[in-house]
Amino acid sequence: MSGDDPALRRPVLVGANPGLQLFDADGGCTGYASVWRVDWSRQHGAGTALVLWQPDTVRVLSSDLALARWLAEDFTRHFPELDGLPWPAPDYQREPVELAIDLAAGMHARAGDVEVQLSGVLDVRAVATEEFPLGSVPHSLRLVLAPCRTGRLSIGGQPVPGQVHRSGTPARPSSSAFLAEAEVWSRVPER
């Protein structure tokens, strides 16, 4: 077996990572929020963080800035939702993240002046891939995915403009507003 064989990968993070991506009428991304609840991680323990991307800024909010930096730089910035979008130097802010996730109903998260709400769960299904590259580092990912009908992102009480994009089929809906629970990220252990 080779060094990057998925069978050799070990968990590095267990938790949840709901997300919301909003689009304007021309299909441009107006905002993206990646909300993290880390139940366990090999390097940084447990905690919560909220990564907020907007066309001209990235804000990362958490009580644990070392954990937040790891989540933003090693994970979120490499997600397909942000592929091809600019990644300005993040502004790290020490703010506690309040987070409630319900696979039957949705999610509510708040950190500082940022609030994210997801509702109208369309489906709940298991997802697994052995090929989820984060930068040049291959990862395996297993999770429970719940696409949602609606999502709202606000800053200082003002909604970020844009709409949720839904696609897929009635039997297998997809949405840019989604819950991701029971996430297990694995990779080859560093030597």
The 10s digit of each residue's pLDDT in 68-81 is 999 999 999 999 99
Query: Is the CB of residue 148 less than 8 Å from the CB of residue 124?
Result: no
Q: Rounded to an integer, what distance in angstroms lies between the CA atom of residue 110 and that of residue 123?
A: 24
> What pLDDT is stored for residue 190 in this prediction?
62
Tokens at 59, concatenated? 């804000």
How far apart, in Å, are the Cα atoms of 71 and each of 10, 102, 125, 159?
Answer: 17, 22, 24, 25
Chain centroid to CA 121: how far? Answer: 17
Cβ density class 77-89: b for 16+ within 10 Å, e for less: bbbeebeeeeeee
pLDDT class for 16, splitting at 50, 70, 90? very high
pLDDT at 140 over 80: yes
> What pLDDT is stored for residue 187 in this prediction?
87
Per the model's pLDDT, the better-predicted residue between 131 and 38 turns out to be 38
Q: Rounded to an integer, what distance in angstroms lies between the CA atom of residue 165 and that of residue 59?
A: 23
